[in-house]
Structure 1
Amino acid sequence: MVVCMSSTGTPWTFRREIPSDTSIGSELVAGLLDAMTDRDWPPADLFRTQLAYEEAIVNAIRHGNQCDPDKTVLVEMTCEAERLLIRITDQGDGFDPASVPDPRDEDRLETPGGRGVLLIHEIMSEVAYNDVGNQITMVKIKGDDPEIED
């Protein structure tokens, strides 16, 4: 189901189940960016939202579903004048976000993994996971410009 409303006073809503294919997942963000542009979101918010979305969709497909072609990912997005929500649910076993080591730790600087989760938390206004760990909900507030830590 895809619901797209043109009036900027009305929320833009999108919901689609996709196969475990990163190219399909990456294409979906274009509609959200258009909706944000129509609602006069600042360019920095568009950039950060796209970056967080890309990290989350790739994590769901690669790590959650293990690129299994028999599994799908549910993508839900809503854009309002001042707030947007992205929810991505995979069919994997989930994970414990608290168990992801901080990639900024001295002994992890050259170890891959964990940077996407950190990045999402740094650039979105709110991030939450379901109890299983196979669903991420990200919220961005227009103009919320969190400072990225060094």
Structure 2
Amino acid sequence: MGDDNNWLWSNQETIPSDTAEGQRLIKELLTQLDRAEWATHDCFGIHLAAEEAIVNAIKHGNKQDPNKSVEVDMRVGKERVLIHITDQGPGFTPDAVPDPTLDENLDVPSGRGVMLIKAYMSEVSYNEKGNSVRMVKNRSQ
């Protein structure tokens, strides 16, 4: 990654396409955010974004295929949080997801996750294939 951020905690894990496993990781992440004394509103956003990204990877990326797995890399620092999630799916084009705020898309369930992640995280980038998302949250001042 090239950033020696003196991470207080980091966890790289490959989990099966199982939302219960995702929830276990999110619980651990929240515990670590609490330990690092991150503000409640920051934790709320990070929680939502991490959950969206993990659930999307399992449900949309891997189509809940038990033979596929999700790589989760989470790091918590004093000033930054990094979450990097990669699935084994075909990927998607984030820009092609319908804008959920437009009237014609209000009933379309997809797109909200992508929008939430962008809204709550400081930096969001996808790989070229679209099966990996890297999210950074900078601590609120």
Contact persistence 2:7–2:75 (CA under 8 A): no
Question: Residue 54 of structure 2: which of 57, 71, 76 is its match?
Answer: 57
Cα offset for 1:27? 1.2
Cα offset for 1:10? 4.9
- The yes-or-no answer on 1:83 pairing with 2:80 is yes
- The 5 A counterparts of 1:109-128 are 109-128=106-125
In structure 1, the partner of 2:3 is none
In structure 2, the partner of 1:32 is 29
In structure 2, the partner of 1:130 is 127
Amino acid at match of 2:18: D
Mark the CA change 1:133 to 1:24 in structure 2 (over 3 Å): closer, same or farther. same
Aligned-partner Cα distance in 1 for 2:105–2:138: 31
In structure 1, the partner of 2:104 is 107
Amino acid at match of 1:72: S
Percent identity over paired residues: 49
Runs of 4 or more, structure 1, over 6 Å off, are none
Note the residue ranges of structure 2 that are not aligned, 5 or more in a row: 1-5
Note the residue ranges of structure 1 that are not aligned, 5 or more in a row: 1-8, 145-150
Aligned-partner Cα distance in 2 for 1:32–1:17: 15
In structure 2, the partner of 1:70 is 67
Aligned-partner Cα distance in 1 for 2:109–2:35: 37
Q: TM-score, normalised by structure 1?
A: 0.87
Contact persistence 2:125–2:133 (CA under 8 A): yes
Mark the CA change 1:11 to 1:64 in structure 2 (over 3 Å): closer, same or farther. same
Q: TM-score, normalised by structure 2?
A: 0.92
> How big is the alpha-carbon RMSD for the aligned residues of Structure 1 and Structure 2?
1.2
User: When the two structures are aligned, how many residues end up with a matched partner?
Assistant: 136
Aligned-partner Cα distance in 2 for 1:31–1:112: 28
Cα offset for 1:61? 0.3
Structure 1, 27-36 or 53-62: larger mean CA deviation: 27-36
Mark the CA change 1:114 to 1:10 in structure 2 (over 3 Å): closer, same or farther. closer
